[in-house]
A and B are shown apart, each in its own frame.
Chain A
Amino acid sequence: MNHQSIFEFKFIFLSALLFVAFTSIAYSDYDEEEALIELYGDEEVISIATGSAQPISRAPAVATVITAKDIKQMGATDIDDALETVPGLHVSRTARGYLPIYTFRGVYDQNNPQVLMLVNGISINNLYVGNRGEVWGGFPVESISRIEVIRGPGSAVYGADAFAGVINVITKDGSEIDGVEVGSRLGSFDTRDVWALYGGEVGGFDVALSAEFRDTDGHDEDVDADVATAQGSSLAPGSVNTATENFDTRLTISKNNWKFRTGLQRRENFETGAGVAEALDPSGELKSSRWNADLTYHNPTFTDAWDVSAQVSYLNTSQEVSDDLILFPPGSSLFIPGVGLSPPFADGVIGNPEVWERHLRYNLTGIFTGFDSHTIRSGIGYTHQEIYKVEEENNFSPIGFGTLTDVSDTPFVFLPEKHRNNSFAFVQDVWQLSNDWELTAGMRYDDYNDFGDTWNPRLALVWAARHDLTAKLLYGEAFRAPSFAEFRNQNNPVANGNTDLDPEEIETIELAFDYRPKNNLKLGLNLFKYEWDDIIRFTPDSATSLTAQNIGEQEGYGLEFEADWTINRDLSFTGNYAYQESEDKDLNEDSGNAPQHQFYVRVNWEFIPDWHVTPQWNFVMDRARVDGDARSDIDDYDIFDVTLRTKAFSNRWELALSARNLFNKRAFESSQNGLAGAAIPGDLPLARRSAWGELRFIY
């Protein structure tokens, strides 16, 4: 089928779907219980009304909430599948490990430290690179209650790294699971998912327990050339390596004002994607453990006027190597600064960097409502982050050149063991100016032991213009703390750290409209403009090496348009369009990599009772190259998925089938451009057509 005919087929398919849905008469004579459904409203409202869910608090920010129901509908099996549907957010990929790059509104960085990811409000960002970890392997979705995504800055509330956006994953508590659920999913690429959830009351405590296991070989699309091609030692053309074995477990115990949560995310046999150094490495494997625990006290009626919460939390995370990482394949030479090109390495250039870090956080927050028309939220906190163990074996350090040597605890290791302390205080006032006007003004102060202090304000003016229209004018500043890779990298042949770095800063102004012209139609329009300063980039400091420096400036503007339309009880539609223009101010050129236009549409149709079909279509368009990259612009892509889900056979059993990239489109994410051009000139291929089947039992 050529492109044109596929397009026509898809158009006809979707049109037919909509036509049939519009013209279909009610397929069953709804009995009187339907009147109750009329009375209570949709599933979200009834869940709130019957006490099994809490309304999401109204935050003066541009936010998207993806519920567990949405996740099921769209057929997402990993958090990235769900995040790609958020307007203004595109999930790109790095070559190393195929790690996600959550690109908000054109803010693109290979290491992606400008996005704060929280689990139940607690950061899981690493100190080392500033992202979620170099051994990511994804985040399974069965234990997720909802994902709250804030686009734009959030440092005035969340502190460091709430810069381009904040992703907060809220996990299910006992009342949401309410019993036992077990499930299994089998799919392409030898993917096996198994999960079990339990929720209920045990000895007067509300308990939620989840365990999720995933084993996948990952897709194996080919790259034609890589960084070693020029030397003639490359394994390309060859396939990328995206296997991983994940085990995730979480426990939540709560009673009255107290909540204890703990979890483990274990990654094994994690492969290197297109290679840690952008040279294919089919044998290298990593592993990781991410332990978290927190104890939270929250008393909304501490006194008549005070709502108080206190929290202590702990995170321990690792990056470990289980099979040698072959940075450059056998036969490759290495350029040694000051020496020149080395003889070829018979076993390849091997580097096994391992990092263990722990984070301890304390915070105390109070909300005071004793003043008329004012709600004051304030808090203090302290965070201790520490890289407490660094180990490395390599075969290119001066103390064992050519032989795999343990350089841990020597001056030749890639990173020193250091810590970072942060104390902070914040205050925010929500002031009801008049019946329809509300002003939020907040400020947060952060002090760091290694790079000083920073103040970050935010302002939000909210106007309830009509019964169906709310307008928000938002201003915020945010900062991104330099990661230890940028601050303290050493003995790296190409990228050196710099302890004189300042945090990156961003200023954002947004105008947001929420319009509900009909009870079943919700529209949103957000306009934004930002200035991103002091961008940390590894910049040439000599002919052969790079050092991290605050050197870049970027400006961006754009809009996001969203629509949610419940056409009738059986048919609903979700769609969004995002546009952004971002410019590198030093070069007066498009910043590149991020899509200028994104379009997403999803239809959920219950075509016969208890049978849901959900097609979705995602377009990623107009991704320019960065300045100096001679390649032509990367091709647009559109990916069409469809998911079928049913409980028709039994209330306890649920069956689902999903086809991903149904039309087998070739799709690529941009590979980075280096000093000598792009290491992987043909970009990073994404998975072609795949499918999975799922069965779950709920008791």
Chain B
Amino acid sequence: MIRKLHFCNYFAKKYSIKRIVMAACVFLLILSIPSFAATPSVAVIYPELRAPYNKIFEDIAEGVEKKINGRTKRYVLPKEYSQKDLNDWIRKNDIKVCVALGGRGEKAANQFTQDIPIVLSGVLQSKSITHPGISFAASPDKLFSTLKRQKLNIKQVIVVYNPKKSEWLMREAQSAATKHGLELITYATSSLSNSAKLYREIFKRLRIKDAAIWLPPDSTSIDNRTLLSFVLEKSWSHHVAVFSSSPAHVNKGVLFAMYPDNLKLGFSLGAVALEELNGGAEIDTLIPVEDLKTAFNKRTAEHLGVRFTSNDLRKYDAVFPSE
């Protein structure tokens, strides 16, 4: 007790009561700044999905929150959501920008009664091209640079794509191919059966020793069952590298895939949302995602003659096959 009094006396001498009160006032003032600033809110709306798929959108939402420093609100859309409730929620919370994720998010955002900027993600293509956003389709530039790193002496990239869905991505791919010294050979398709024919032709006729096949994220170009099996079988026997945007493909035998790093993607979306708050985003349409993770198939790489060390493998986010 005596020691405590001594301590208090010492404390009172060193820091006068007046100073302490002033410091406390300044501290309280700092704390209250956000409430004075009337910070505009950013909403992140995304579909309710079951585990573990829900983690995709939750990670993106977390990334947005981290970038915008907590000035966000989440709204999870169940399968049967009420547009009216959502519109009321947007109005009540004074939402100034909405980050809409997934097809359901985009659909809901397009039916807002409030005219607020929308930043789109969690989709491969946009149904409307009026919103800025970041697609789930991996940046061709990043894909091609990963391909070049495999030291397979690739000169051509062959892709079967649906113009209705992926024309915008092919434009990006064309300039990325030029940048990396690759020749991009595109085949337009309109259906899976048409794609099957095209892949058969590709394997039959083309001189593909120095070519790689790119499977775009497009369900008319490739399906995850019959056609993928065919492409994997032929590419194995022809020693052709195949790459894609789907970790599921890598699990089946594709050499590598690049897919969104959802937390970092959220960061980038947060940055676009902040631009919207400050007068308008630099981008005005959907762009491919550059925040990517890479999955790698060790077995396929060994077959193709790719040499790698454990250190190289550590650079990949997921290494298959898992047995």
Contact = CB atoms under 8 A, between A and B. Distances in A.
A35 interface: yes
Interface string B294-320: 010011101111010111001001111
Given A49-B317, A50-B55, A39 B235 contact: no
Interface string B140-155: 0000000000000000
Interface in A264-315: 300-301, 304-305, 307
A36 B224 CA distance: 13
B319 A33 contact: no
Contacts of A31: 47, 79, 103-104
Interface stretch (B5-13, B174-182, B203-211, B226-234): B226-234
A391 B304 CA distance: 64
Given A36-B53, A40-B259, A58-B323, A304 B303 contact: no
B123 A32 contact: yes
A604 B206 CA distance: 43
Interface in A34-69: 35-52, 55-59, 63, 65
Given A35-B124, A40-B246, A519-B252, A301 B311 contact: yes
A436 B102 contact: no
Contact of B49 (A33, A35, A301, A519): A33
B229 A518 contact: yes
Interface string A3-43: 00000000000000000000000000001110111111111
A651 B76 CA distance: 12
A34 B251 CA distance: 19
Contacts of B298: 58
A467 B301 CA distance: 11
B232 A49 contact: no
A629 interface: no
A134 B253 CA distance: 46
B2 to A, nearest CB: 35
A38 B224 contact: yes
Given A39-B248, A40-B53, A40-B248, A59 B323 contact: yes
Contacts of A65: 323
Nearest to B223: A38
A40 B49 CA distance: 14
Contacts of A33: 47, 49, 53, 102-104
Contacts of A466: 233, 236-237
A367 B298 CA distance: 18
A51 B317 contact: yes
B133 interface: no
Given A31-B104, A32-B123, A56-B322, A468 B233 contact: yes
A689 interface: no
Contact of B322 (A55, A517, A520): A55
Contact of A432 (B229, B249, B302): B302
Nearest to B232: A467
A367 B322 CA distance: 19
A464 interface: yes
Interface in A53-94: 55-59, 63, 65
Given A32-B102, A468-B232, A39 B246 contact: yes
B66 interface: no
B183 interface: no
Interface in B234-275: 235-237, 245-249, 251-253, 259, 262
A372 interface: yes
A369 B309 CA distance: 6
A301 B53 contact: no
Interface string A439-476: 00000000000000000000000001011101000000
B172 interface: no
Contacts of A435: 302-305
Interface string B55-90: 110010000000000000000000100000000000
Given A35-B219, A36-B56, A464 B103 contact: no
A369 B52 contact: no
A48 B248 CA distance: 10
A539 to B, nearest CB: 42
Nearest to A368: B310
Contacts of A56: 322-323
A402 B322 CA distance: 61
A307 B310 CA distance: 9
Contacts of B14: none
A207 to B, nearest CB: 19
A375 B310 contact: yes
Contacts of B50: 610, 647, 651
A307 B262 CA distance: 29
A33 B304 CA distance: 34
Given A369-B311, A519-B252, A38 B236 contact: no
B309 A45 contact: no
Contacts of B310: 300, 307, 367, 369, 375
Contacts of A436: 302-303
Given A31-B104, A38-B219, A50 B253 contact: no
B225 interface: yes
Contact of B323 (A63, A304, A372): A63
A36 B104 CA distance: 12
Nearest to B309: A369
B196 to A, nearest CB: 15
A438 B321 CA distance: 15
B321 A58 contact: yes
B132 interface: no
B216 to A, nearest CB: 11
A324 interface: no
Contacts of A467: 232-233, 235-237, 253, 300, 303
Given A39-B246, A55-B320, A464-B303, A46 B52 contact: yes
Contacts of A432: 302
B312 to A, nearest CB: 9
A516 B310 CA distance: 26
A533 interface: no
A369 B102 CA distance: 42
B117 interface: no
B122 interface: yes
A42 B48 CA distance: 18
Interface in B122-179: 122-124, 136
Nearest to A466: B236
A514 interface: yes
Contacts of A57: 322
A36 B122 contact: yes
A651 B48 contact: yes
Nearest to B250: A45
A55 B302 contact: no
Contact of A46 (B53, B136, B229, B237): B53
Interface in B31-59: 47-50, 52-53, 55-56, 59
B322 A58 contact: yes
Nearest to B313: A369
A49 B302 contact: no
B269 to A, nearest CB: 16
Contacts of B49: 33
A40 B251 CA distance: 10
B246 A41 contact: yes
Nearest to B245: A39
B323 A514 contact: yes
Interface in A247-268: none
12 contacts: A36-B136, A38-B224, A41-B249, A42-B248, A45-B247, A55-B319, A55-B320, A372-B307, A373-B307, A466-B233, A467-B232, A519-B252
Interface of B: 47-50, 52-53, 55-56, 59, 79, 102-104, 122-124, 136, 217, 219, 224-226, 228-229, 232-233, 235-237, 245-249, 251-253, 259, 262, 293, 295, 298-300, 302-305, 307, 309-311, 314, 317-323
Given A33-B53, A40-B53, 9 more contacts: A40-B247, A50-B59, A52-B55, A55-B322, A304-B311, A375-B310, A464-B302, A467-B233, A514-B323
| Top 3 A-B residue pairs of the complex, sorted by shortest distance between their CB atoms | A41-B248, A32-B103, A55-B322
